[in-house]
Amino acid sequence: MFRITLPDGSVREVAPGTTPADIAAAIGPGLAKAAIAARVDGELRDIGRAFEGDAQLALVTSRDEADALELARHDYAHVLAEAVQSLFPGTQITFGPSTDDGFYYDFAPKDRPFTEEDLPAIEEAMRKIIAADKPLKRSVVARDRLIADWAAAGETFKAQWAAELPEGEELTVYSSGDDWYDMCRGPHLASTGKLDPAAFKLTRVSGAYWRGDQNNAMLSRVYGTGWLNKKQLDAHLFKLEEAAKRDHRKLGNEMDLFHLQQEAHGSVFWHPKGYMIWRELEAYMRRAIDAAGYREVKTPQVMDARQWEQSGHWGKYRENMFVIPDEVPNVEDEGPIVSNDAEWMALKPMNCPAHVLIFRQGIKSYRDLPLRLYENGCCHRNEPHGALHGLMRVRQFTQDDAHIFCREDQIVAEVQAFCALADRIYKDFGFSYSIKLALRPEKRFGTEEMWDKAENELRDAVAKAGLNTPEYGWEELPGEGAFYAPKLEWHLTDAIGRTWQVGTIQSDRVLPDRLDASYVGEDGERHRPVMLHRAIFGSYERFIGILIEHFAGKLPMWLAPVQAVVATIVSDADGYANEAVAKLKAAGIRTESDLRNEKINYKVREHSLAKVPHLLVVGKREAEEGTVAVRSLGGEGQKVMPLDEAIEWLRGEALPPDLC
């Protein structure tokens, strides 16, 4: 008999062959119906998989949403694969995992790549499989037999995958009814009928290389989103629709902020209006860091490869760096461009080694610490073409980067002060956030003692700042730290509930040691400083992209590139409109005029699309009375007021947060 311990501490003795479903049925019919899977000794398993010995058991229901969604999405992927093979005979299956909001499956079609026109038919076939309520059964198959079965069925990709696994290993297979199966670790729901046929939608088709290698065959990847019920699906689709409206690339074009093109792949062409947003953010951040005791520096774009080798980046980050020869020799046209013995340089992917070099200039005393060096540092990283995405992921970017060199006894206070600064800045932009602690990765520099100290210092600082609470989503992330330091991460929540990892602070003892940074202590001896790497925006490019989407282009007035437009109804008001623009500009309000011979409704629509906060409409009457009719973006109707009163009101609206 096996002893099965339940969450309440009670123990049930059961015979071999008993399953979690049997225990759920023994407890009661309600639980038997609700239970969809089980956690056995912490491992998520099929509800119908028999116990293998004494175990701790927790039954999983749809109320356990994270587990239930993972199971459902995994099942949707299998149902997708079965549906595609039923519709398109000869199609080979490969991989089909669940994702954060759904699932996908990669296929090798027999005749042609799939297109989005195929999706409605595939969805209908999936619903038929769900309606058939086909049992999903787990079985263990010998590796060699499974390879032979896949090969006989013409499934060359599956046969290759199975052949890469260790010899003699037993593999698990899940069958859907009697006529379809896939190799899979599981777990799965008990049957396809446990899925809600109205809670999924196929979303798009794209190309994907087998095993992610561009040297391999091109496959067709079908994406879908899957949920536990239609209400969840509808909410997700609404969010996707809203996200599409807020897409910073679309709004950036409509608002004439920036563009990207092949001639500078992964770099941004900022237009005057877009760069005005940048300048306002830069000025805001400078006021914040000046008040917090930082000293701004500027460091070179290109540094010798030996410096990057010494810092450790050459070995850990080389594939992401742009490398150039120190000198290109004079050669004949037919000769090599670069000689083999060339000295190598690299565009900096980060600012930290350069800041250490500034710290090392001159002798530093313990009295000089903490030393806070800040830089709006332009960096370059060789991101793959397929990973680039508007402003969110680029190859050239500028960080609001700073490094705090401090003594051991100053670390917690400095991190706590940074937490307060980040809190103020994020709240100025209307963001809520959560904080995560990313812990030591498997591959890292430094001793275990150094990592223990660094992780505990970050924990202590967050606790003293009062931020290690459920309200701030406090969580520890094993293995996700940098190779040289653990880090605190700030995850912002935007207006439609998406999260963005932006700010960080890292407690680093490795780089000061590798780059020989030191200060003279009170004892007259040399000591290593601790180096706190920190950023709040992360990068200006990405933060501007997030702001555009968060505000749906309707930026706070102090950030808006054009804060007001004076638009005429009739040409007789042109002179007054120009006078009004001059007064508004003199008051520091970024203003343009619109004197075109167009109807006022056309002008209103156009400036609303450009997300101008305030439109000041003037006609013959306003010119005679010295007034303006103010239409505010997102507001209803208009308000007529004297021009001077409107200017004072707009000046107040245009003040940055720290000046209000």
- Which residue has 């028999």 as its token pair? 50
Q: One of 400, 401, 494, 594 is an active-site residue; which one?
A: 401
Give, as one character, the DSSP assignment of residue 72: H
Distance CA 373, CA 356 (A): 10
> How many other CB atoms sit within 10 Å of the CB of residue 570?
13
301 part of the active site: no
- Output the CA–CA distances (angstroms, integers) from residue 212 to 204, 219, 221, in the order listed: 18, 10, 12
SS3 assignment, position 54? coil
**Mind giving me the DSSP string for 76-120?**
HHHHHHHHHHHHSTTPEE----B-SSEEEEEEE-SSS---GGGHH
Phi, psi of 102 (to 5 degrees): 175, -125
> What is the C-alpha to C-alpha distance for residues 122 and 109, in angstroms, rounded to an integer?
14
For residue 358, give Cα distances in angstroms to 59, 255, 300, 372. Answer: 58, 40, 11, 11
Contacts made by residues 246-251, CB under 8 angstroms, sequence distance 24+? 246/496, 246/548, 246/549, 246/550, 246/552, 246/553, 247/390, 247/549, 248/390, 248/391, 248/392, 248/544, 248/545, 248/546, 248/548, 248/549, 249/390, 249/391, 251/548, 251/549, 251/552, 251/553, 251/611
Residue reference for tokens 């200060």: 519
Distance CA 83, CA 76 (A): 10
Q: Contact 358/373 with Cβ under 8 angstroms?
A: yes
Q: Of 246, 395, 533, 614, which is the active-site residue?
A: 533
CB 279 within 8 A of CB 568: no
Q: Dihedral through CA 626, CA 632, CA 637, CA 639, nearest 10?
A: -30
Helices (H), 467-573: 510-514, 540-550
The verdict on whether residue 352 carries a ligand-binding annotation is yes
**Residue 313 is among the residues annotated as catalytic for this protein:** no
User: Do the beta carbons of residue 60 and residue 212 sit within 8 Å?
Assistant: no
Catalytic, out of 381, 534, 603, 631: 381
419 within 8 A of 427, measured Cβ to Cβ: no
Catalytic residue among 352, 410, 491, 508: 352
CA distance linking residue 365 with residue 199, whole number of Å: 64
Residue 188 is among the residues annotated as catalytic for this protein: no
Q: Which of 434, 169, 181, 398 is nearest to 279 (CA)?
A: 398
DSSP state of 51: P
Say whether 138 is catalytic. no
Taking CA atoms, 594 is separated from 574, 578, 598, 623, in Å, by: 9, 10, 9, 15
**Among 92, 307, 399, 506, the one annotated catalytic:** 399
- Count of other CB atoms within 10 angstroms of residue 659: 9
Residues 385 and 265 sit within 8 Å (Cβ to Cβ): yes
Q: What residue type is 488 in one-letter code?
A: L
487 given a catalytic annotation: yes
Catalytic residue at 56?
no
Catalytic residue among 348, 403, 607, 611: 403
Encoded tokens for 69? 């969604």
403 is in an annotated binding site: yes
Catalytic residue of the set 74, 249, 487, 607: 487
Within 10 Å of residue 251's Cβ, how many Cβ atoms?
21
Is residue 1 exposed (0-12), middle (13-18) or buried (19+ Cβ within 10 Å)?
exposed
Hey, which residues are catalytic here?
352, 381, 399, 401, 403, 487, 533
Q: Which residues are annotated as a binding site?
A: 352, 403, 533
Q: Specify binding-site residues for Zn(2+).
A: 352, 403, 533
